[in-house]
Amino acid sequence: MKPSPLSFCPVPEEQQPLNEYQQLQSSWFFSWATLATGPYWRKLTWVWTWGWLVAGPISAASFSPAKAPFLFFASSSVGAGLLSLLSLARLYLGWSYVASRLRDETVFYEESGWYDGQTWAKPPAVLLRDRLVATHQIDPLLQRLRRSALILGTIVASGSLVWFWR
């Protein structure tokens, strides 16, 4: 009996693109991108709030909240927004890396360390399956992350414009 092309894969389990996708789905941080709209924005608001707690005291050193409350709030919000943008960038980079590994016709993997990398050509059935997962599961997440970064970037940029009008 001939083995199925899906059954033989020399790539270690943890380096197989489909398994990397499943690991991202179940990870604490990367699963944020898979949440429904409300919980997703709550997580980003949570990051923004913690960023504000860090940026607030730094802004207070430059702008007294009592004398310049608008500048204090704007600069603290920009700092917090930058932390949120960094979080979105990390989410995007992780998901896009896995999407590219799913789309690629070959998989680079390491057998026991960085010095002995190998390449495995995916059989057509595996390539089709992986590309379907990338197209229908990951592409919508990447689109959502791009939109979120655009919205948040616009907010941060508009908050940064305060420097020109002060």
Q: How far is CA 25 from CA 14, 30, 70, 94, 133, in A?
A: 14, 7, 40, 11, 12
Give the count of domains, the chain. Answer: 1
Q: Is the pTM of this model over 0.85?
A: yes
Q: Is residue 25 part of a domain?
A: yes
Q: Is residue 1 part of a domain?
A: no
Strands annotated E in 34-149:
106-110, 117-121
Please, what's the b/e burial string for 42-52 (b: 16 or more CB within 10 A of its CB; e: otherwise)? ebbeebbeebb
- Domain limits at 156? 13-161
The per-residue pLDDT for range 20-64, each reduced to its tens digit, is 999 999 999 999 999 999 999 999 999 999 999 999 999 999 888
What span, in angstroms and rounded, lies between the C-alpha atoms of 77 and 143? 25
The per-residue pLDDT for range 88-137, each reduced to its tens digit, is 999 999 999 999 999 999 999 988 776 778 899 999 999 999 999 999 99
Q: Is residue 107 part of a domain?
A: yes
- Take residue 156 and report the two structure tokens written for it: 């941060």
